[in-house]
Structure 1
Amino acid sequence: MLPRLSLLARSALKGAGAARGVRVVSTLPEMPPCDFQPTPYKGISYEDAMHRRKTNLTPALLTYYKKPVMVYQGHMQWLWDVHGQRYLDLFAGIVTVSVGHCHPKVKEAAKEQLDLLWHTTNVYMHPPIHEYAEKLTSYLPGDLKVCYFTNSGSEANDLALLMARLHTGSFDVISFRNAYHGASPYTMGLTAHSTWTYNVASGFGHHHTMNPDVYRGLWGGAHCRDSPVQTDRSCSCAAGECMAKDMYLEQLHEVLRYSTGKRVAGFWAEAIQGVGGAIQYPKGFLKEAFAMIRERGGICIADEVQTGFGRLGSHFWGFQTHDVMPDMVVMAKGIGNGYPLAAVVTTPEIAQSMTQALHLNTFGGNPVACAVGSAVLDVMEEDSTQQNSADVGTYFLLELARLRDEFSIVGDVRGKGLMIGLELVKDKGTKEPLPGPDVISIWEDIKDMGVLIGKGGFYGNNSADVGTYFLLELARLRDEFSIVGDVRGKGLMIGLELVKDKGTKEPLPGPDVISIWEDIKDMGVLIGKGGFYGNVFRIKPPMCLTKQDVDFGVAIIRRALEKYSEQTQQTKAAAVN
């Protein structure tokens, strides 16, 4: 357990940048108890590992935090580093650990299969792949019955892109700006996020329509999102109407009218954008967008790499929250709880397109991967992880939303279930992102207090994932802090956006976002960071998270925001004097 940290008095700006006096002295909460005892670490030293990393690993390898966390062991929602420090993991290995680190039942299934058979390739038959394919497709509606197993989301989207073009005989494909569908040379064109794009030929035949972002986009209102927490934008739409949806659909129509041929191959969409910062679209948008694509002869591909397997709480698949039926579903990450496993599931008719030539994935659908995938589905049923995502995620989201109203830098809190984003801004009016170093400072502080969250979005200032309880708790932060611009998401896929001004939605500058992020880490919580401006905290924890864990995580995030606000006020006071 982390030692209890000292009390810190602080005063800060409250509301939309207005001073409301001195904050009450608060204490940091004790970490929730954990009856698991990690084994003592006896491996190479931290310093030796850093040296080997610099010498033997690619310099392009991304590492979180100024002093990276060297993780040694995991159990359910907890991680331990080589120094024995325990962390609450709210990022789940980038939305990958679904039922918990080293879940006993999944671990036992892997061990049993390892004693029987590891690998054959699919030129031979083996029982696990047939049993698992039938079990997996039983969770999908309609004619989505044919599986192609791969090892990663990028591989799966590669294959889906090839299949869409072969089946339709067309070449043009469409995805959203700010979307992420992989970083391979083939999928880089689908990804419309410059931070993941190299200056090489990769986008031939790829077109990007305007991202229907109801918080930061041109259009959006107070009732657009399928989330317990809405934006702070006004809305004059009549019941059953949505001007934002209609305007974004017109943008898609313009792409089809001017940029593509008369027929298209396919349209890619995440139910909620993950890497892009837990961005949610207007309700009803995807249903009408799918119809427009099909009128042009294209097929519709649901990218469920981050949103699938019950993470959004209300449904097992993210596309079901939009009331749409895709022609193809791409899945990875949570499917294997951290084991390399991914899949494309489609209809028998579309699957026939791959018979035009030979196709083989050496490791796709290997016996161990299938055994693990099957056990993950069993655990999801036994542990009711989807329902937990709904309950805990919504609570988390609403608690974070309170920070949005309390801190001026929290521009938005958004999400659904245990997929949550918190966006940091410099100005809520302009939505200027909080500077990267500031975001990282807060992020680091959260980590140092014992909580690990993600960081993403275009500006690197915005996202975090968890469920209904989590969403409700985070929503309180939006109301409490002027820098919390938005809390959004659904289930255990949550984003919290930090802003400099809530009115303009100017993102909180990167240095400020990083400062908060580092602070969160130093207090023992690990979260992600993303979004186009890098000002969104990404909260997407293992789906075994509890409400007690949420209370601890929210308290740590609150403390990091308070610390940042106190330091900002002191800096301003010193400048005046």
Structure 2
Amino acid sequence: MTLACRHLRRALRLETSSPRIPKMRPSLSRAFWTSVTKLGVHTKPRMPPCDFIPEKYQSLAYQRVLEINNRHLYPPRTAYFAEPLLLHQGHMEWLFDHEGNRYLDFFSGIVTVGVGHCHPGAYHGGSPYILGLTNVGYFKMELPGAAGCESTMCPDVFRGPWGGSHCRDSPVQTIRKCSCAPDCCQAKDQYIEQFKDTLSTAVAKSIAGFFVEPIQGVSGIVQYPKGFLKEAFKLVRERGGVCISDEVQTGFGRLGSHYWGFQTHDVVPDIVTLAKGIGNGFPMGAVVTTPEIAKSLAKRRFCFSTFGGNPLACAIGSAVLEVIKEENLQENSQEVGTYMLLELAKLRDEFEIVGDVRGKGLMIGIEMVKDKMSRQPLPPEEVSQIHEDCKHMGLLVGKSGVFSQTFRIAPPMCITKPEVDFAVEVFRSALIQHMERKAK
């Protein structure tokens, strides 16, 4: 969705959304529920109102668009739903399809839209070396590559070998029991020992750098034990390595308590990578580093960027940063995100297949399991059906995790508590439907 920002409005006229309308026609919401909800009474949460009326879709027919997509674009196996959405227009936290149906966007174009779709008032690429950094099997190459990239065990306190109820920086802790004191995490010490083992056996004596997300996104909103990154950074620097914090998904206030994810770990990285939220949909990214490291790049003849620092991107990035500040979106992420985490945790207590609810601010994961005792992932086909049911009721969420077992929730930071209530009720209804199917 195109960002319309005040910095560019006069000169560039980038705004693509239609004017604001004081009130939404009541018939729009009713028509939506009539057309897509043919389920039991308990599956009809009331959608919150929206004061925006989308323009009428007047382009190609749905089947024609699908035909063009299948014929000319990348194989559509990456489509998120069995029947892909043809999205026509967006407004803040809402999306509208070609038929005028309204959806609450709880995934933000894979955590890209921070301040809202069409607000008024970059991926890592596919090189073998960069792909060598991922530990998610779906994204790995068919053949090995990127010599020199080594992975360490993910310190996942829910699915990993160690972890318990005092480990992570979140309003909601895992239900695994542990004997840790609130200010002393034994799981952290065990994962650090494993990290030391990796450094001693799997990597060279000297290290170029250590890449880490403050909270893992695509892996399923995985949070580390408190204090883990601080000790890990120290061990890396002792071997001459630099520490790189990937803030593509965790930055710009989304975590609520801090503007940057690394701040939640009480560390200062040597390099920070930024993208997605910095442009609110406009393709841009940035790298922030120390003067010393920046000077070293001058020795490399081919270190350049064709489009780096162009005025349009800079103006858009500046406008996004201003909106985050002026509209108190970091504070909203903290308040509404904490509220949502606590509400979703009730579903974990209610349903055996909800194994874990975790996260911080508006970066939340719901991990689905066969049962809480085994913590075995819920089969992908069952997760997909729940995912589809949410869509049919007007809620769009993401899926992620090593086994595609985790629902990933990262809505625009302008989300409200009534919209959270709607989303939680939709998710509860989808879980009830799933349990009813299993009982038949």
Q: Same fold (TM over 0.5)?
A: yes
Distance 1:365 1:60 in 2: 34
Per the TM alignment, residue 201 of structure 1 is displaced from its structure 2 partner at its CA by: 4.4
1:355 equivalent in structure 2: 298
| Aligned with residue 364 of structure 2, among 494, 512, 530 | 494
Distance 2:64 2:138 in 1: 30
| Aligned with residue 533 of structure 1, among 394, 400, 403 | 403
2:330 equivalent in structure 1: 386
Per the TM alignment, residue 29 of structure 1 is displaced from its structure 2 partner at its CA by: 2.2
CA contact (8 A) 1:153 1:331 kept: no
**Aligned partner of residue 329 in structure 1, secondary structure:** strand
Distance 2:33 2:401 in 1: 33
1:288 equivalent in structure 2: 231
Distance 2:426 2:132 in 1: 38
1:478 equivalent in structure 2: 348
Distance 1:552 1:534 in 2: 24
2:87 equivalent in structure 1: 71
CA contact (8 A) 1:183 1:197 kept: no
1:96 equivalent in structure 2: 112
Distance 1:541 1:259 in 2: 38
Per the TM alignment, residue 39 of structure 1 is displaced from its structure 2 partner at its CA by: 0.8
2:188 equivalent in structure 1: 245
The answer to whether structure 1 residue 544 and structure 2 residue 436 are counterparts is no
The answer to whether structure 1 residue 335 and structure 2 residue 205 are counterparts is no
2:26 equivalent in structure 1: none
1:320 equivalent in structure 2: 263
Per the TM alignment, residue 369 of structure 1 is displaced from its structure 2 partner at its CA by: 1.1
CA contact (8 A) 2:155 2:225 kept: yes
2:317 equivalent in structure 1: 373
CA contact (8 A) 1:214 1:244 kept: yes
**Aligned partner of residue 320 in structure 1, secondary structure:** helix
2:50 equivalent in structure 1: 34
| Aligned with residue 133 of structure 2, among 190, 199, 211 | 190
Distance 2:378 2:240 in 1: 43
AA matched with 2:156: D
| Aligned with residue 217 of structure 1, among 160, 175, 180 | 160
CA contact (8 A) 1:304 1:330 kept: yes
TM-score using structure 2 length: 0.90
Distance 1:222 1:506 in 2: 19
**Aligned partner of residue 279 in structure 1, secondary structure:** coil
Gaps of 5+ in 2: 1-28
With 257-266 and 76-85 compared, the bigger mean Cα shift is at: 257-266
1:3 equivalent in structure 2: 33
Per the TM alignment, residue 192 of structure 1 is displaced from its structure 2 partner at its CA by: 1.5
AA matched with 2:405: N
CA contact (8 A) 1:183 1:196 kept: no
Number of aligned residue pairs: give it: 407
CA contact (8 A) 1:497 1:535 kept: yes
CA contact (8 A) 1:341 1:365 kept: no
CA contact (8 A) 2:166 2:182 kept: no
The answer to whether structure 1 residue 518 and structure 2 residue 381 are counterparts is no
1:259 equivalent in structure 2: 202
1:54 equivalent in structure 2: 70
Distance 2:347 2:326 in 1: 33
* Structure 1 residues 86 and 289: alpha-carbon distance in aligned structure 2, compared to 1, 3 A threshold: same
TM-score using structure 1 length: 0.69
**Aligned partner of residue 345 in structure 1, secondary structure:** strand
Identity level (%)? 57
Distance 2:362 2:239 in 1: 35
**Aligned partner of residue 118 in structure 2, secondary structure:** coil
Per the TM alignment, residue 365 of structure 1 is displaced from its structure 2 partner at its CA by: 2.4
- The list of structure 1 runs, each at least 4 consecutive aligned residues, that deviate by more than 6 angstroms after superposition, is none
Distance 1:90 1:7 in 2: 22
2:436 equivalent in structure 1: 566
**Aligned partner of residue 391 in structure 2, secondary structure:** strand
CA contact (8 A) 1:78 1:87 kept: yes
* Structure 1 residues 7 and 51: alpha-carbon distance in aligned structure 2, compared to 1, 3 A threshold: closer
The superposition leaves residues 383-412 of structure 1 with CA deviations (integer Å, 9 ceiling, x where unpaired) of: 10001001111111111xxxxxxxxxxxxx
2:103 equivalent in structure 1: 87
Per the TM alignment, residue 261 of structure 1 is displaced from its structure 2 partner at its CA by: 1.9
Relative to its length, the structure with more strand (as a share) is 1
Per the TM alignment, residue 61 of structure 1 is displaced from its structure 2 partner at its CA by: 6.3
Distance 2:62 2:127 in 1: 31
* Structure 1 residues 27 and 51: alpha-carbon distance in aligned structure 2, compared to 1, 3 A threshold: closer
Per the TM alignment, residue 83 of structure 1 is displaced from its structure 2 partner at its CA by: 1.1
Distance 1:214 1:489 in 2: 12
Distance 1:556 1:329 in 2: 37
